[in-house]
Structure 1
Amino acid sequence: MFKKLFKDTVIYGIATVLPRVMTLLLTRLYVNKLDTTDFGIYSGLFVYLILGNVILSYGMETAFFRFMNRGEARDKVQSTALTSLLMSSLLFLVVAYLLRNSIAAWLNYEVEYIVFGILILVLDTLVVIPFAWLRNQGKSYWYAFLKVGNTTVNLLFNIYFLSILPSEELAMGGGVAYIFLANLIASLLTFIALLPVYLKIRLGFSYVLWKPMMLYAYPVLLAGIAFAINEGFDRVFLRMLLPEDTADATIGVYSACYKMGVFMNLFVSAYRLGIEPFFFSNAQDKNAPKYYARITEYFVVFGGGILLFFTVFTNVFKWVLIPNPAYWEALWIVPIILLANFCLGIYNNLSVWYKVTDRTRFGAIISLLGMGITVIFNLALIPLLSYKGAALTTLITYAAMMSISYYYGQKLYPIPYNLKVLKVFLGISVIGSFLQFYLFKLNLFVGILLLLLYTVLAYVVLSPNPFQSNQKRKRVS
């Protein structure tokens, strides 16, 4: 059993993390081939795709897993979930296509981009339940193959459109359209590959079953909307609050430098995939709170090291991810975004209390509070600080969510965190990163010295006491 769990965790981890790594190649390609305005248009539109995916799937994937594994008629569960998303997606397709001109005018984007977005959203929603079905059936290899294959196809068509076709098309604004066309092709091929799952599940609908599924999915939908707004709507606010002639270019440089935070994201994602099964499998153990505390301690120490490392070597990694100097003016946000993603990772750790005690409504509440903070601070700071205000808002939001989760968690499910260790390493990594970036201007000598000191301190705190071990060995001899 444990061997299969480990194997599936590794495979699903690859299926989640590898596509994110591959998107780094896409970012590099985009900033090399698109000017800041076109990249800003693409980044702004992509935010709506993230929100659209959440709304169109409306938590049905989570409800699918919950009801498939609680004794309900499995055939009815899967056919009801599949039919529900199919019908709502087709309804959205018809209504959105008829209103495409109005949507384009409202959002102030080209109609062509809106049509691409509608088709991509529908195709991506239609594969939600088939992918969930593959996971539930234990078909991890096929799941991973399709997930990685989707990103590979998208990457290859982007390379073809942006690097092989004549560059005149890009100069005329065709680059954004090509990006969405590549995405559409990848989504269509994935949908075609998953059509056999539709034949295995078969369409069918039970209102008696669908109603409780929707009630269960509703909080998931709210949390998803809140997350989408927290994660991406700073671009929407930038476009809304900045002068029209510079907004898209500002979003372009901001979004490119925001991508530097992906290095922390990869660490957080890989960690979460590996540790969440442990959280749940040990929830009934009387020593579980101690385990959770120790795991969080390790996470903060390693995460702080990653924050410091990528801040110190920002001038190196900018050539890897965003080699076009036209985008570098927004590098100021890099330590802010790395720290914001670090806070989000700590929040995920702290949130174990409501996951293992079935108080998941608190997750939705905290996410909604974060959404409120996002809206208020973006409206307040962007007119004053432009993209710097958007970056600071992201940090404030995730730091607030982290703090709220800790406060209520200690009241409802106390965990004996070693606050001294957490504060020391978090403080050193944050202060060291900010001094290195903003005061010492990325001086490599100072940065490497800070990294060495941090590494030595981490080794001393996390490793067993070598002197104690030597004494024990002497007594034994």
Structure 2
Amino acid sequence: MRFRHVKSLARHTAVYGLGDLLGKATGILLVPVYARLLSPSENGDMALAYAFVSFSVLLYALGLNHALVRHLSVERGAEGMRLRFSTAYWTLTAIGVLLSLLVWSSAARLAIVFLNSTSYADIFQIIAVILLLDTLSEPFFTLCRVRQRSGTYASVRFVQHTLQLGLTVYLIVWEGNGVRAIFWSNLVSSAFAFLALCPIGFRVLRPIYSKPILRELLRFGLPFVPSAAALLLINLSDRLLLKFFLGKDAVGILQILFRFCLPMQMLTRVFRSAWAPGVLAIPDRAEARTVVARVTTYYAAGATLLLLVLSTFARDLILLGCGSRASEYLPAQGVIPVVTLAFLLSGLYIILTAGVYAEGRSRMLPLVVGLGAGVNVGFNLLLIPRMGVLGAAWSTLAAYGVMVVFLYFHTRRFYPVAYEYARLAKVAVAGGIVYIGVSGFAPDASPSGLVTRCILLLAFPFILWGWNFLESGEWQEIRQLFRLPKQAGVEARESSGDRPDVP
């Protein structure tokens, strides 16, 4: 029974991953375009503009999509689902229209504040439309997640990101449109996602509204806003402070190096998409906690392997992706392993939020993330003037480390989970041994050095095997995960329970 739920989570995570894969892969595949055809300053402009987008999303959403995940996952009545969804959607629509009009009318001022020039005002006008389209489409994606229609979610995301990738390459490489091409491509892909999901959303959306329901949704969702703002502060304050201390070129260098860490961020993102609905779908709370413990072990092993891969080939990735401009990025190659480890810890943070969702304790999240944000800003102010972009990377790692430790001890009071500490220790020790080994050969770009690093990297799974990391019969269960597509229909029905399919 326990592994059935692990299997269901794995299936939905894998399918969500197919859709989000290209979203993050877009950032990786476009590195040669951005690094070779755009200057570090232009990459800095892109990073700073998207920092504004990320913070704006919080004001547009007000945590209502988080609230929909919680409330629609446990709502059994069709009419109740329609009322909750419609109330949230009409609220988001009104907020989105008002805020986008404000951004559009303030485009010139925003361009001066963020990009130091009114010539970029048109970019913020494009951003105003993107924010509105994403606000209108995100509840539809949430509906797919809650009803565990991961295939629809993945298909739309996949086409959306493919469209954005193709348009960006065309407009930059062939049309020479520079940094503006990135935002035009985003606008077109966001419009596609909204139009593609309209038929699904409109099946549930009704011209109904309830103020008591809105208060109930906001009571759960609003506490996510300060915590999400603090998370963004952790991820984006370094861009703003780098611009202040070192200029836009440093921001652009950090932005490109962050893109090499996107595989780990992608893993945590698709995991997050399936995590909350998957845990809430397990009716037995004791069994849910057992699943949380087992998933933590599997995540730690897989994420550590990915960390080792990205750390081992950090220099090679920069040389391959940045071409003739690699010399501008190589001095800061140490950013890649540090930021990748930070993203690994962010995945553990997501796992720890299982108790928050299950027990409805979202009000404590702002304190946890606020603590991390404070650590991040403090370390950035201390380290960036001394270490440059590498200081920003260490600040991100410190912030996520503090958050994981604090949330771990806090959630144990109301959602105790018997984590598999011995197995987690094996993963940590084996990963440390392999990392030390490959670090000695990192500067060696010769064929023999590359082969040596590959051999040392392969030692990680063999060390775990030799230490009896897998329990008796567990390997056979894990192998079943690769046969998930054959049983997808059966498990989708099992995991959805008796929740009605709202027409």
Q: CA–CA distance in 2 between the matches of 1:133 and 1:256?
A: 33
Query: Mapping of 1:420-459 within 5 angstroms?
Result: 420-430=422-432, 432-433=434-435, 436-437=438-439, 441=443, 444=450, 447-448=453-454, 450-459=456-465
Q: Which residue of 2 aligns with 1:308?
A: 308
Query: Mapping of 1:376-455 within 5 angstroms?
Result: 376-430=378-432, 432-433=434-435, 436-437=438-439, 441=443, 444=450, 447-448=453-454, 450-455=456-461
Q: CA–CA distance in 1 between the matches of 2:272 and 2:42?
A: 34
Query: Mapping of 1:346-361 within 5 angstroms?
Result: 346-361=348-363
The one of 213, 217, 224 aligned to 1:220 = 224
Between the aligned residues of both structures, percent identity stands at 23
Q: CA–CA distance in 1 between the matches of 2:151 and 2:87?
A: 26
User: Structure 1 residues 126, 354: CA separation in 2 closer, same or farther (over 3 Å shift)?
Assistant: closer
Q: CA–CA distance in 2 between the matches of 1:137 and 1:417?
A: 29
Q: Which residue of 2 aligns with 1:472?
A: none
Q: Tell me, what secondary structure is at the counterpart of 1:417?
A: coil
The one of 141, 156, 172 aligned to 1:146 = 156
Q: CA–CA distance in 1 between the matches of 2:97 and 2:273?
A: 33
Measured against aligned partners, the alpha-carbon deviations of 1:237-283 in whole angstroms (never above 9, x if no partner) come to: 211222xxxx1111111111111211222333455556656644557
Q: Which residue of 2 aligns with 1:367?
A: 369
Query: Mapping of 1:4-403 within 5 angstroms?
Result: 10-68=14-72, 69-70=74-75, 73-107=80-114, 108-109=116-117, 110-136=120-146, 140-165=150-175, 167=176, 174-196=177-199, 200=203, 201-242=205-246, 247-272=247-272, 279-282=279-282, 284=284, 286=286, 289-319=289-319, 321-323=321-323, 324-325=325-326, 326-403=328-405
Deviation of the 1:74 alpha carbon = 3.4
Q: CA–CA distance in 2 between the matches of 1:226 and 1:120?
A: 23
Letter in 2 for 1:186: S
Larger radius of gyration: 1
Segment of structure 1 superposing worse, 319-328 or 401-410: 319-328
Deviation of the 1:5 alpha carbon = 8.3
Letter in 2 for 1:48: F
Q: CA–CA distance in 2 between the matches of 1:193 and 1:271?
A: 23
Moved segments of 4+, more than 6 Å: 1-7
| Contact kept? 1:79, 1:205, Cα under 8 Å | yes
Gaps spanning 5+ residues in structure 2: where?
474-503
Q: Tell me, what secondary structure is at the counterpart of 2:223?
A: helix
CA RMSD of aligned residues (A): 3.2
Gaps spanning 5+ residues in structure 1: where?
168-173, 467-477
Measured against aligned partners, the alpha-carbon deviations of 1:429-474 in whole angstroms (never above 9, x if no partner) come to: 24653674488636546634543443322112323579xxxxxxxx
| Contact kept? 2:264, 2:340, Cα under 8 Å | yes
Segment of structure 1 superposing worse, 11-20 or 128-137: 128-137
Deviation of the 1:393 alpha carbon = 0.2
Letter in 2 for 1:216: F
Q: Tell me, what secondary structure is at the counterpart of 1:48?
A: helix
| Contact kept? 1:367, 1:401, Cα under 8 Å | yes
Q: CA–CA distance in 2 between the matches of 1:197 and 1:263?
A: 30
Measured against aligned partners, the alpha-carbon deviations of 1:335-361 in whole angstroms (never above 9, x if no partner) come to: 111111122222333443333333333
Q: Tell me, what secondary structure is at the counterpart of 1:73?
A: helix
